[in-house]
Chains A and B, each alone.
Chain A
Amino acid sequence: MTDLTPAQARALTGVGWRQPHYGELLERRPELGFLEVHSENFFAAGGAALGVLLRGREHYPVSLHGVGLSLGSARGLDAWHLDQLADLVERVDPVRVSDHASFARADLHGQSVHAADLLPVPWTWASLAVMARQVEQVQERLRRPLAIENLSAYLQWPAQDMGEVDFLVELCRRTGCHLLVDVNNLHVNALNAWRREHGGSRTPATAELLAPSLAWLAAVPGERVAEIHLAGHCDTGSLVIDDHGSRVSDDVWQLYRHALAQWGPKPTLLEWDTQVPALSVLLAEAGLAADAMAACGRREEVAA
C-alpha cells in the first residue's frame, strides 16, 4: 500500500461546509482537500448562498452531496430536481456528485409528495431495478458517475431478497456508479439491529458489535469506493440516531481504520450538521481522519 505524507492525507480530507462556517472558512482558508455541500441548498438561480459557494469553489474542490434525488422512488425521478442538479453541476464542476440509496417521493392523497427524508427502500430485485434505471438516468444527464451512499435506516422492510451490501455492489455492477460509504451509518444500523434482537438487557462486546459492519466492508470492492463519510450519532435510549451532531465515536474510528486498511486511502468527509461546533473543532476532527489515512499505509507496511 502506498504511504501517504500528512499533506497528501489532508488533501484527501474534506469537511461539510455549513452556513455557520461560510465566512470564517473563506477567511481562514484552512488546508483541506475538498468542501462538501448539500446540492439542494444551492438550487437557486442566484443569491447569496450560491455566490458564497462559487467563492468557495475558487479555493477548493467541491463535492455535491444530494439528499433529495429519491433514486429509489418507484414513482420515478423528479425531472425538475434533475434539471436543477444538472445546472448546479455545470456551474460548480464538482469533484464528486453523490446521493443516497433511498426514496422520498411517493403518492399521498393522490398527489406526489416529497418526504424530505432518506427513507429506506426494500432490498429487493424490483427495488434494485428501479434504482439502477434511475442512477443510469442521472449519470447520463450529468455525464459522470454518481456515488451512492448507504443509509442509516430506522425501519426494516419485511420482504427482502438480499442484504444491503449485496444490493449496493450489484447496483455498482449494473450502472458503473461508485459507493460513498458512511461508516457511521453502518455502526448506527448495527447498534439498532443489536437492540432489536437483544433489547437493552446486555451490552455487547465491541468485537461482537463491529462484526456485521466489518463483514459489510469486506464485501465491498475497494475500487468501487469513491468517498468515506464520518460523523457523530446520538443515543435516544430506544434508537441510535445518525444526527451528525457530535464527534466521531471510537467504534466508528475503528471501522474507518479497518476500511482504510482494506481499501487504501480514500477521500474522506467529516460531516457535522446539527449543533454545529466551532470551525476549529470540525477541522480537528478532519485532522484525525487525515492522521488515520497517513498512518494506514505505514501500518500496512509494518504488517507486511
Chain B
Amino acid sequence: MSAGIDTLAQEQADLLAALWGVADGREGYFEPQGLEAYRRNAGAIAERALGAAYPSLRQCFDKGSFAGLAHDFWHDRPPRCGDLARWGEALPGWLADQAAAHDLPPWMGPLAQGEWQLHAMAALADQEPAGDTLARLVEGDPDRLRLQLAPGTSVMRADLPLVSLLHACGSGLAAAEVPAASDRADDEGRVGQLIELGAPEIALFWRQGWRPRVRALAPDEALWIEALLAAPTLGAAVARAGPVLERMDLTAWLGQALESRLLLAVRDA
C-alpha cells in the first residue's frame, strides 16, 4: 500500500505543479479546461485574501493591476497552510524585491508592512482592561509592577509618513474617524503626493478592543513606549526611558492611554 501512497503523493504534487504552471512529466495528463477552472478560482482567492489583509494597498492599484500582483505573489509565495488570513506576511519584502524590476514606488513595501501589522493584530487573543488598577501605582513598588499594554502594541519607525498614509486610506482609525470612500487617498498619484509632502512618522500600533489602530507618536512618547515594551518591570522601564519622562506629563499620558485602551492594567511583574 505504501507504494500506492507514494504514487498518490506524486500525483497530487503533479497536480499542484500543473496548477502553478511548473513544467512536469505529465504534460496533457490533466484536462486543460479543468486546470483553467482551478487556476481562475486560485486567482480570485488570491486577490480576495490579499485585498483583505492589505486594503489600503489595494486602493492604490486599479483592479486589474492588483489582481496581477496577487497572481504573481501567489505563484512566488504560495500559501503554506489552510488559513488564508495568514498568507501574505511575506508581501512587504516581496514588494521591496520587485520594486526595481517592476517600477513599483518605494513606499509600497513600508505601507504593506504597516498594513500587515494591523491585519495580524486583528487575530490576537482578546485581553480585557482591568478595573481601577492605576491606584496601584501610588503605593506599589515600580520594580514589582508592570503596565499591561493592549494586544499587538508595537512601535514602527518609518522613513515616510506611514500613519498619515494609512489614515488617508481609511486604515487604523477609530470607527468614527474613517473617511468616506470618496475622501480616501485611493490612487497612486494622491498617495505619492502625500509622501512627497509629509515627514517621516513613528507609528504606534495597538488594538483598541477588537479594532486595530495606528497613530503617530512624538519621539519622547515613542521612547517611553519602547521602554515599556522592552523592560520587565515598570521601574526598569522608567530607568530605561531616563530623561524622556522629565519632558512628559506622565499622569496625563496614563489617563489617555487608559481611555484609548492602549493601557489595560497595572499588573504584578
- Mark A residues whose CB is within 8 Å of B: 40-41, 43-48, 51, 67-70, 73-75, 78, 80-81, 84, 103-109, 111-117, 119, 121-122, 124-127, 129-130, 153-158, 236, 238-239, 241
Contacts and interface: CB of A to CB of B under 8 A. Distances in A.
A119 B9 CA distance: 13
10 contacts: A46-B123, A47-B124, A74-B5, A106-B16, A114-B80, A116-B42, A116-B45, A154-B34, A154-B38, A239-B34
- For B12, B29, B30, which residue has the most chain A Cβ atoms within 10 angstroms? B12
A121 B211 CA distance: 41
B130 interface: no
Given A154-B34, A156-B31, A81 B78 contact: no
B19 interface: yes
A2 to B, nearest CB: 39
Contacts of A153: 34
A119 B38 contact: yes
A22 to B, nearest CB: 12
B85 to A, nearest CB: 7
Interface string B181-196: 0000000000000000
A114 B22 contact: no
A73 B126 CA distance: 34
Contacts of B45: 116-117
B150 to A, nearest CB: 12
B23 interface: no
B257 interface: no
A239 B38 CA distance: 11
Contacts of B51: none
A40 B123 CA distance: 12
Interface in B138-164: 151
Nearest to A158: B29
Contacts of A130: 5, 8
A107 B7 CA distance: 13
Given A46-B125, A51-B126, A126-B5, A109 B22 contact: yes
Interface string B1-22: 1001111110111011101101
Nearest to B37: A154
Contacts of B17: 108
A241 B20 CA distance: 20
A129 B2 CA distance: 10
A103 B11 CA distance: 11
B82 A122 contact: no
Contact of B12 (A46, A74, A129): A74
Query: Top 3 A-B pairs ranked by shortest CB distance?
Result: A68-B82, A126-B4, A44-B123
